[in-house]
Amino acid sequence: MIRPYTTFAVIALSLLSRAPACGADDAEDARLNGAFDVYLKESFRREPMSATRLGDHAYDDRLDDVSPEARRANLEFLRETLERLGRDVHPDQLSPAGKVDHDVFRRNLEASIWLRETFDPFRDDPRVYGDYVAESVYLPLTQSTLPREVNKRNVLKRMQEVPRILETARRTIGRPPRVKVETAVRQAEGAVSFYKAELFQLVGDKPGEGELTEPAAKIVEALTKYIAFLKDEVLPRRGEEWRIGREKFVKKLDYELDAGLSADEVLAEAEREATRVESEMGVFARHLWSEYFPGVAVPPDDEAGRREMIRRVLGRIGDDHGTAETLVADAKGTVRAIQEFIRAKNILGLPDPDQLRIIEMPEFMRGNSVAYLNPAPPLDARGSSEYAISPPPSEWSRERAESFLHEYNRAMLQILTIHEAYPGHYVQLEYSNRCPSKIRRVLSSGTFAEGWAVYTEQMMLDQGFGGGSVPLRLQQLKFYLRAVVNAILDNKMHCGGMTDAEARELLVGRAFQTDGEAEGKIIRSKQSSCQLSTYFVGRTAFSRLRRAVQREQGDRFDLGRYHEAVLSEGTIPVKHLPQLVRARLAETGQGAR
């Protein structure tokens, strides 16, 4: 997954030189872009964390006012911006590219307003405060391209604001669900570790020395009291209802996907696809059975027998794994072969220079996923990107840690690196950061990003990565089945009354996940809604477009140029892709016959 921006390394020049700009310079387009610039400037003044995440460092020395009064004022600002956009910009006078930008801007405003009117994470989700407590300091020190001393001065001032954030949290948090409180506690404990050690490593000081020592100690003291507050006061009064309900889910999913599909259509298509993928997995598992279980009869050829066969074969594949200590190094070890394959097979042009760092996930960011890609911010695109992986926590039992490592075995790590890095999230977002349209760079679509990453997993193996390894293909199908089942889980957990036991049966019994992975996914589904559907819906959109364009072009289809055309339009809602990709291919001499 990618670390999302709030509602709110360079691609080879040859790629950009043959691509037209994403926007036009006519008067109405200029008016739209001017309106967006005004909006961004005021948004960043009101919410400095948004500015930092997006790479504008003018406000890196301050933090948001997260009081209820300030948040109400920010909501009113969004409403006023939407009203002015409708009054001052005329969509019928925009260029084709400008019409897309206008739709992206308008829909983002509408979604932001609805989300803030409908949900209050500052009251109902204490995890939100963790962004201001630790990420606010971590990002300038790891991604900003400003001089090191400037970043250090900025975070010093920002650190002085952290106790204020925690005090606001104590006054604001209501009765959040237990699952969110428990994650917030773990992340806050990770933040304590950050301020005791990692912070000093990032700035080049020894722990306990330098000008950051005193403010860091004050934050640790404030965090210690905050953790006690969460444990002693919030947990006893916590709520248990984490489901958002069908009405809200349907509306939120429409904004999240922006793909022209209803919640019922997504669920029905995911159910059909899960059945198809399971059948395909059965074919590959049958090929491997005699190798892994010589002399043992293949299980009966029915649904139960097929699932037993797949599960046992996957179990043998999972036996080949590293340790908690080597997990990050093992992921790094997958990179060179993947990069060389992409270049040799002309999959697409890779970023040059490469700005990706593969790291162990900071403790204060753990609790939502096993891995993420934190991209270089679009307004400071020469900053670094981070592919972060979370090893099993040291407090886990040996059995639970072994289950985790069994899931993230050596074959799975190759698929995970394709998804998160090459040619998945990292490469795609580097392309996106070079799109001339600021609107598209800043207001990115999670459905596009996740869909592209899932699409690349099968595409790479189809082009020959892994040399036709059947175990690797079976692992890829398992990873894809996870994306499909994510959409089913997302809907049934929030629209229906799916229990933990039913969710576990879906994940373990139907999607062949280990118990540890299933437990983590159930927790994640309770802490979020609709994001889990983006993987399947986005991948489906990419696969359908690829099939259509390839059939239209026949022998003239060039996979590398097609991929570059897809990525050069920015991280846009997938509903716009068919029109824009065909237009770009036509301009580069690859249009339909």
HEC profile of 288-337: HHHHHCCCCCCCCCCHHHHHHHHHHHHHHHHCCCCCCCCHHHHHHCCHHH
Q: Which helix (H) or strand (E) holds 388?
A: strand 385-389
Q: Which helix (H) or strand (E) holds 358?
A: strand 356-360
| 301 class by beta-carbon count within 10 Å (0-12 exposed, 13-18 middle, 19+ buried) | exposed
pLDDT exceeds cutoff 90 at 59: yes
Q: Answer yes or no: are the C-beta atoms of 324 and 401 closer than 8 Å.
A: yes
Q: Strand, helix or coil at 422? A: coil
Sign of CA dihedral 36, 42, 46, 52: positive
Query: For 367-406, how does the pLDDT look when each residue is reduced to its tens digit (9 = 90+)?
Result: 557 888 999 999 999 988 999 999 887 778 888 888 889 9
Instruction: Determine what percent of the chain falls in helix, strand and coil, rounding each to the nearest 5.
Output: 65, 5, 30
Phi and psi dihedrals of 97, rounded to 5? -65, -40
Q: Answer yes or no: are the C-beta atoms of 99 and 106 closer than 8 Å.
A: no
pLDDT of residue 20: 39
| Cis bond upstream, residue 353 (ω within 30) | yes
Q: At 362, is the pLDDT very low, low, confident or very high (cuts 50, 70, 90)?
A: confident
DSSP state of 239: B
Q: What is the mean pLDDT of the chain?
A: 93
Q: At 18, is the pLDDT very low, low, confident or very high (cuts 50, 70, 90)?
A: very low
For residue 423 the two structure tokens come to 């040619």
Query: For 236-264, how does the pLDDT look when each residue is reduced to its tens digit (9 = 90+)?
Result: 998 889 999 999 999 999 999 999 999 99
248-281 burial by CB neighbour count: b if 16+ within 10 A, else e? bbbbbbbbbbbbebebeebbebbeebbeebbeeb
Higher pLDDT, 252 or 515: 252
Average pLDDT over residues 214-222: 97
Average pLDDT over residues 483-507: 97
pLDDT of residue 23: 41
In the Cβ-directed half-sphere of 217, how many Cα atoms lie within 13 Å? 8
455-465 burial by CB neighbour count: b if 16+ within 10 A, else e? bbbbbbbeeeb
Query: For 253-298, how does the pLDDT look when each residue is reduced to its tens digit (9 = 90+)?
Result: 999 999 999 999 999 999 999 999 999 999 999 999 999 999 999 9
pLDDT of residue 404: 87
Average pLDDT over residues 460-485: 97
- The closest of 56, 66, 40 to 154, measured between CA atoms, is 56
Q: How far apart are alpha carbons 518 and 387 in whole angstroms? A: 22
The C-alpha angle with vertex 164 and arms to 365 and 184, in degrees rounded to 5, equals 30
Q: Answer yes or no: are the C-beta atoms of 383 and 145 closer than 8 Å.
A: yes
Average pLDDT over residues 70-93: 97
Query: Taking the model in full, what pTM does it have?
Result: 0.92
Q: How far apart are alpha carbons 6 and 95 in whole angstroms? A: 28
pLDDT of residue 553: 96
Domain locations along the chain: 13-242, 252-540
pLDDT of residue 21: 42
What is the number of other CB atoms lying within 10 angstroms of the CB of residue 117? 11
| Cis bond upstream, residue 378 (ω within 30) | no
Percent of the chain exceeding pLDDT 70 equals 95
Q: Answer yes or no: are the C-beta atoms of 413 and 331 closer than 8 Å.
A: yes
Q: At 22, is the pLDDT very low, low, confident or very high (cuts 50, 70, 90)?
A: very low
Query: For 540-581, how does the pLDDT look when each residue is reduced to its tens digit (9 = 90+)?
Result: 999 999 999 999 999 999 999 999 999 999 999 999 999 999
The strand ranges marked E within 111-181 are none
Sign of CA dihedral 89, 91, 93, 99: positive
For residue 202 the two structure tokens come to 């990032």
